[in-house]
A and B are shown apart, each in its own frame.
Chain A
Amino acid sequence: MSVLEQYAYSNRLRYVHPAEKIFFVLATLIFLLATSQIKIYIFVLVVVSVLLIGVAGIPVAFYLRLLLLPLSFLITSGAVIALTVTATPDLLLSISLGRFTLGVTREGLLVAAKACLKALASVACLYFLALTTPIVDGTAVLRRLRVPGLVLDLLTLTYRFSSVLLDTAIKMYISQSSRLGYSSLPRSFRSLGYLISNLFLKSYEQAKMLNITLSSRGYQGEFRVLEHPFHLSKRNLILIGLWLILLGALAWPGGGGKLVVRIGY
């Protein structure tokens, strides 16, 4: 059971209508993708982080650690974007490699910073969804959107049994290592092989058993279950609307800048 999921079930936005949360995240993501203004990226990153920490009640330390996860990846790829190889050596920092010069330009740095911030802001949006909305609520919204039941049933089963599979794998791993299954490299390879093949057999058995247990409760090819009754909140919808208008105004070429200044001071 991941910690991420535990927050999804216990955060203070848990009982906000999942459709509102999904709409908020999707609309913001589209905005992020469409715009190329660095101030929007920063603005979104800050607002979403404040919402998560201040409103949803996610501990700061945990959230920062989550943000660090993609950061290591972003820094390496950002560095690659920032680097320029050129024959004309007018760079901020450079090493010359024979006929060419490897280094960074002002433009290159800006592009890299933009890409990193864009990615980070998008990741923060996705974290917002992952930390406030359990999968179950997500599928409920998809069902309303008339996504075919078969797809949703598969989603539910995959989700449920990936945790069963993980549990089984962990148990097998513990039982193997308690018998020295991973005490040397060759032995580790062999044990891992056993683990994977057994896991496959067990999953197969489990699937057969599941079919039996479902049939015994009258399963006829459709999962129908109770869903938590959520209510759309007018206030939240208005807030999301205002948020989008604010983003639009900020992104508007020319006029936006002044608005920020006015709001900022």
Chain B
Amino acid sequence: MSYVLATEGLDYTYPNGTQALKGVSLKIPKGSKAAILGPNGAGKSTLFLHFNGILKPQRGKVIYEGKELRYDRTSLLNLRQKVGIVFQDPDTQLFSASVIQEVSFGPFNLGLPEAEVKRRVEKALALTGIEDLADKPTHFLSYGQKKRVCLAAVLAMEPEVLILDEPTAYLDPQLVRQLIDFLEELHRQGRTVILSTHDVDLAYTWADQVFILKAGKLVTSGRPEEVFADRKLVEEVGLALPWIWEVYQRLKELGWPVEAPPPRSKEELLRELPCPIYQKIGR
């Protein structure tokens, strides 16, 4: 398996003395859906800022596509085209007075000609379903709309790796579902999607790689069913077990013969639920 992003022994301490990362080594497979889980203050955002070269490791290294990051102008510009971050608070990201300007900012920084910028902006607006907002001023928008503009602004740079910091925070359930569908689509196009969250249900259902961080350290990582199998560890970190996983485990304990692999979604779980009525009808 090839890895798109990796870190080795990453340390980072903020000027105020907060040790945000302590020897983090992890590898994110290319084309994967990775969820970085962890309680608040675990170091998720700091890790992300290393992924696109905003922060320079104080010790250890960051590796993109097998090569250690370099921090000169050209290399950084190159990296930031390939690794895009959607930040948690849209108001810190939106600087421009109108949506179309905001979305065109990134592509222009890549030195693309105006016609190509236009094409990309239109595409990004269409992908995120906000064409009708193009000429709106950014401060007219609702929170959900602002979030989508931020997403479009990063997508317009056509990154290979999309990083989203707490993308579902404050979104209503319908928007969360739309976002997840959208990320699924990006995944199908072969892009790597990394998101941070403390929503274990989301991580369990969506991700194919889960990393758990706590107090700046990588606690565990692997496929969701491997990671959540260690109940004690997950609870020690301050996270809960995904409800689907809990129900599935309880069914097994009750002696229900579950043959299939652990269900990943509500639908898969419901299909396996023991149902006496069905059995009666069957007889």
What residues of A have a CB within 8 angstroms of the CB of B102 in the complex? 225
Query: Mask for B119-151, Cβ within 8 A of A = 1, else 0?
Result: 001000000000000011111100000000000
- A139 CB contacts on chain B under 8 angstroms: 97
Contact B104 A226 (CB under 8 A): yes
B85 located at the interface, meaning its Cβ lies under 8 Å from any Cβ of chain A in the complex: yes
User: By the criterion CB–CB under 8 Å, are B157 and A225 in contact?
Assistant: no
A144 interface contact, C-beta 8 A: no
Q: Which single residue of chain A is at the shortest CB-CB distance from B121?
A: A226
A217 touches B80 (CB 8 A): yes
Within the complex, what minimum Cβ distance (angstroms) separates B157 from chain A? 7
Cβ-based interface call for A150 (8 A): no
Dominant SS among interface residues on chain A: helix
Q: Which residues in A have their C-beta under 8 angstroms from that of B97?
A: 134-136, 139, 156, 159-160
- On chain B, the residues within 8 Å of A1 by CB distance are 137, 139-140
Q: With A160-B94, A228-B135 in contact, do A220 and B109 touch (Cβ < 8 Å)?
A: yes
Complex alpha-carbon distance, A209 and B54, angstroms: 11
In the assembled complex, how far is the CB of residue A15 from the closest CB belonging to chain B, in whole angstroms?
9
Q: Are A217 and B91 in contact (CB under 8 A)?
A: no
Q: Which residues of B contact A218 (CB under 8 A)?
A: 77, 80-81, 106, 109-110, 157
Which residues of A have CB within 8 Å of B64? none
Report the bound CA distance from A163 to B146 in whole Å: 14
Taking the complex as formed, is B118 at the interface, i.e. its CB lies under 8 A from any CB of chain A? Answer: yes
Cβ-based interface call for B43 (8 A): no
- Whole-angstrom distance between the alpha carbons of A253 and B213 in the complex? 82
Closest beta carbon of chain A to B76's beta carbon, Å: 8
Q: Does B84 contact A (CB under 8 A)?
A: yes
User: In A190-234, which residues have CB < 8 Å from any B CB?
Assistant: 206, 209-210, 212-220, 223-228
A61 at the interface (CB under 8 A from B): no
Closest to A15 in B: B135
Knowing A224-B105, A225-B104, A226-B104 touch, does A216 contact B54 (C-beta < 8 A)? yes
Nearest to A166 among chain B residues (CB) is B139
A213 and B87 contact, CB distance less than 8 A: yes
A216/B84 in contact, CB under 8 A: yes
Q: Could you say which residues of chain B place their CB within 8 Å of the CB of A227? A: 101
B108's contact among A136, A156, A224, by CB below 8 Å, is which? Answer: A224
* A9 CB within 8 Å of chain B: yes
From DSSP, what is the main secondary structure of chain B's interface residues?
A: helix
The docked-state distance in angstroms from the alpha carbon of A181 to that of B103 is 40
- Give the distance to chain B from A113, nearest Cβ to Cβ, in Å: 39
Q: In the complex, what residues of B have CB within 8 A of residue A164's CB?
A: 91, 139
Judged by a CB distance under 8 angstroms, whether B75 is at the interface is: no
Classify chain A: how many residues form its interface, as a range: 20 to 34
Chain B proximity mask over A151-184: 1 for CB below 8 Å, otherwise 0: 0000011011101100100000000000000000
User: How many Å lie between the Cα of A206 and that of B93 in the bound state?
Assistant: 9
Tell yes or no: A5 within 8 A of B by CB.
yes
Interface membership of B154, Cβ < 8 A: yes
B194 interface residue, CB < 8 Å from A? no
The verdict on A226 contacting B80 (CB below 8 Å), with A1-B139, A163-B139, A218-B106 known, is: no
Residue of B nearest to A6 (CB): B140
Residues in A neighbouring B104, C-beta threshold 8 A: 224-226
A134 to B135, CA, bound (A): 10
**Smallest beta-carbon distance B156→chain A, Å:** 9
Could you tell me the distance in whole angstroms from the C-beta of A149 to the nearest C-beta in chain B? 12
Tell me if B154 and A217 are in contact (CB < 8 A): yes
Flag whether B170 is at the interface (Cβ < 8 A).
no
Query: Within 8 Å CB of B136, what residues of A?
Result: 9
Chain B hits for A225, CB < 8 A: 96, 100-102, 104-105, 108
- Which of A134, A136, A163, A216 is close to B80, meaning CB atoms less than 8 Å apart? A216
Complex CA distance for A223 and B117, rounded to whole angstroms: 14
> Which chain B residues have a beta carbon within 8 Å of chain A's beta carbons?
49, 52, 54, 73, 77, 80-81, 84-85, 87, 89, 91-98, 100-106, 108-110, 114, 117-118, 121, 135-140, 153-154, 157
- The 5 sampled A-B contact pairs (Cβ below 8 Å) are A1-B140, A9-B135, A160-B97, A216-B84, A226-B118
Q: Which residues of A does B touch, CB under 8 Å?
A: 1, 5-6, 9, 134-136, 139, 156-157, 159-161, 163-164, 167, 206, 209-210, 212-220, 223-228
Q: A9-B135, A226-B103 provided; 19 other pairs, C-beta below 8 A? A: A1-B137, A1-B140, A134-B137, A139-B97, A160-B138, A167-B139, A209-B89, A213-B93, A215-B54, A216-B52, A216-B54, A216-B80, A216-B85, A218-B110, A223-B95, A223-B105, A226-B104, A226-B114, A228-B135
Among all A-B residue pairs, the 3 with the closest Cβ atoms: A218-B109, A225-B101, A226-B104
